[in-house]
């Protein structure tokens, strides 16, 4: 599996989830088996480059190659300029967002709203490809609504424009994250394109990943929401795809230093109090469905100090490991990440 000149270790990717896929989370996913991780959506407005939010999202210090930054916007020239700016600061792959369904983004004619204007899509993709030497990829949905699916036409435009990979979420913009992802469109796109196609949407287990790859013929899978609760899902899927057998569950003692290191990096990345407040959501996802997880979340909600937050997570992990070598899930649905 390659993107441009970059050889990837496997075909299990971490999705560029807005508000989640920051540098600390990407590094955690890579450490737990993701072959590739794309940065969260970053605005192309040059007036915001000096803001803390944008500068953090463009900070790729210490990240393993290939480093991918995702850009969101609706103006071809601004996107091209932002791509050059990101590459100058260490990005090695540029990903264009045409999949975000959030109203705030779509109201600015960006994200999945772009799927309604195929001429604009062509102009944007050609401008960005011309602007940088780095590979350019595209993340999109199947269309604007179930009645207006045009992913195949958009992906053909992408291929003709020089895009080197497309990641396709099996829902339209109107679907949001409701219902079930469909994979027929992904399969159709894969059958008509020569560039790699990545399947995304509702992939929450090794078995589901293999099923989706077999059904669509896609080159790789991209994992989003399931990884928030179980970031070790990448190693589980990779092992299953390579060997056809389930990997032994990860030991709490083995994942403990990774999770604590992730929390430390999160605090450093955002500073206090921002890092403490934003880490609550991350810890809530990790604790969901775990025995004692609700009590951990209640405790975390009362803490406004990074060191105490770390101590609470560490004590939870140590107590869990003392009871059982592996995480104990109370709810099977939570264990699957569904």
Enumerate the active-site residues.
100
Largest CA distance in the chain: 60
Positive/negative CA dihedral, 272, 231, 4, 96: negative
In whole angstroms, what is the distance from residue 82 CA to residue 100 CA? Answer: 18
In whole angstroms, what is the distance from residue 15 CA to residue 104 CA? Answer: 20
In whole angstroms, what is the distance from residue 181 CA to residue 204 CA? Answer: 12
Enclosing H/E stretch for 140? strand 136-141
In whole angstroms, what is the distance from residue 322 CA to residue 324 CA? Answer: 6
In whole angstroms, what is the distance from residue 97 CA to residue 180 CA? Answer: 21
Which tokens hold the place of 181?
């992802």
The 3-state DSSP class for residue 97 equals: strand
φ/ψ of 114, rounded to 5, equals -65, -25
In whole angstroms, what is the distance from residue 117 CA to residue 158 CA? Answer: 13
CB-hemisphere CA count at 13 Å for 282?
A: 27
Residue 125 and residue 158 in contact, taking contact as beta carbons nearer than 8 Å: yes
Q: How many CB atoms lie within 10 A of CB 81?
A: 17
Which tokens hold the place of 223?
């994992």
φ/ψ of 143, rounded to 5, equals 165, -175
Q: How far is CA 152 from each of CA 197, 267, 321, rounded to the nearest angstrom? A: 11, 42, 48
């Amino acid at each position: 599996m390659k993107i441009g000149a970059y050889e990837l270790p496997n075909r299990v990717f971490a999705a560029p989830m807005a508000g989640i896929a920051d540098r600390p989370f990407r590094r955690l996913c890579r450490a737990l088996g993701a072959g590739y991780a794309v940065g969260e959506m970053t605005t192309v407005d040059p007036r915001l480059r000096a803001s803390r939010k944008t500068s953090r999202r463009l900070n790729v210090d210490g990240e393993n190659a290939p480093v991918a930054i995702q850009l969101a916007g609706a103006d071809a020239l601004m996107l091209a300029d932002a791509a050059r700016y990101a590459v100058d600061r260490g990005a090695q792959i540029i990903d264009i967002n045409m999949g975000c369904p959030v109203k705030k983004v779509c109201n600015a004619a960006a994200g999945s709203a772009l799927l309604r204007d195929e001429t604009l899509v062509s102009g944007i993709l050609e401008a960005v490809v011309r602007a940088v030497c780095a590979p350019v990829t595209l993340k999109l949905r199947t269309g604007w609504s179930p009645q207006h699916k045009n992913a195949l036409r958009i992906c053909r435009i992408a291929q003709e424009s020089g895009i080197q990979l497309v990641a396709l979420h099996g829902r339209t913009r109107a679907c949001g994250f409701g219902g079930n992802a469909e994979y027929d469109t992904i399969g159709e796109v894969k059958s008509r394109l020569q560039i790699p196609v990545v399947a995304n949407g509702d992939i929450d287990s090794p078995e589901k990943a293999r099923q989706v790859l077999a059904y669509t013929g896609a080159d790789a899978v991209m994992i989003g929401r399931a990884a928030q609760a179980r970031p070790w899902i990448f190693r589980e899927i990779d092992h299953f795809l390579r060997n056809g057998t389930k990997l032994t569950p990860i030991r709490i003692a083995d994942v403990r230093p990774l999770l604590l290191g992730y929390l430390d990096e999160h605090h450093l990345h955002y500073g206090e109090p921002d890092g403490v407040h934003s880490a609550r959501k991350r810890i809530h996802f990790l604790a969901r469905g775990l025995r004692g997880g609700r009590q951990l979340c209640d405790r975390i909600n009362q803490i406004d100090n990074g060191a105490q937050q770390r101590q609470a997570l560490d004590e939870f992990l140590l107590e869990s490991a003392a009871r059982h070598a592996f995480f104990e899930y109370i709810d099977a649905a939570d264990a699957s990440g569904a």
